[in-house]
Amino acid sequence: DQQVKQNSPSLSVQEGRISILNCDYTNSMFDYFLWYKKYPAEGPTFLISISSIKDKNEDGRFTVFLNKSAKHLSLHIVPSQPGDSAVYFCAASAVKDNFNKFYFGSGTKLNVKP
Amino acid sequence: EAQVTQNPRYLITVTGKKLTVTCSQNMNHEYMSWYRQDPGLGLRQIYYSMNVEVTDKGDVPEGYKVSRKEKRNFPLILESPSPNQTSLYFCASSLRRVIRTSYYEQYFGPGTRLTVT
């Protein structure tokens, strides 16, 4: 049973517009959330994160929003660029017995059209 | 350069022939982990290790073994590979989170695409 879900397998956006990628989770013990970006033939690379004590974190064109009551996370990319075309994974972790286990969603493939 | 390396990058093998995928990191990270990526399922954790000689099962450990004899290395062993282990495998490492207010992202290797026929 997946504890982190990305219900949109793909998203297509015009260059310059906003991309919004969504993620839902079920485990209320998650307290750290991350977004990873993955290009073909490469490993995922860290993009941005947020802890559960915050509801927003911004880094340049990327902003992550956390709605704890809805158990929902979103990544906003503004403005979107063709180089943003990649698969985006949402991930979450919770401190459990001093170990740090990450749970990943199934990914959303973003296509930014020029 | 800080990195996680995996070898081989591509491997085609036959059912039952033991294989090892190596993983090495140069960041002195305590925590290391193996994932497999399958279409529609995202990244699923196979095994993880908190430190040398400390390993534990992830969500899909069946058919896999690991060892952590040195801090930098975390090989994944398939004793008797089967076609359902055909997948894309990623190794990852991070600092170990020991207090609630410490947060660390994982660094991933480039992946190993395994095909078992």
Q: What pLDDT, on a 0 to 100 scale, did the predictor assign at position A98?
A: 54
Task: Give the model's pLDDT for residue A2.
Answer: 81
CB contact at 8 A, B6 and B22: yes
Average pLDDT of chain B is: 93
Cα distance between residue B4 and residue B32, in whole Å: 10
B57 and chain A: CB distance < 8 Å anywhere?
no
Looking at residue A99, its pLDDT comes to 58
Greater model confidence, B103 or A107: A107
Give chain A's end-to-end CA distance (angstroms, integer): 38
Distance between CA atoms of residues B9 and B88, nearest Å: 10
Q: Which residues of chain A have pLDDT under 50?
A: none
pLDDT at position B85: 97
Does residue B100 sit at the A interface (CB-CB below 8 Å)?
yes
- Give per-residue pLDDT as tens, B52-94: 999 999 989 999 999 999 999 999 999 999 999 999 999 999 9
- Of the partner residues B41, B94, B98, the one whose CB lies closest to the CB of residue A98: B98
Using CA atoms, how far apart are residues B28 and A63, in angstroms rounded to an integer? 30
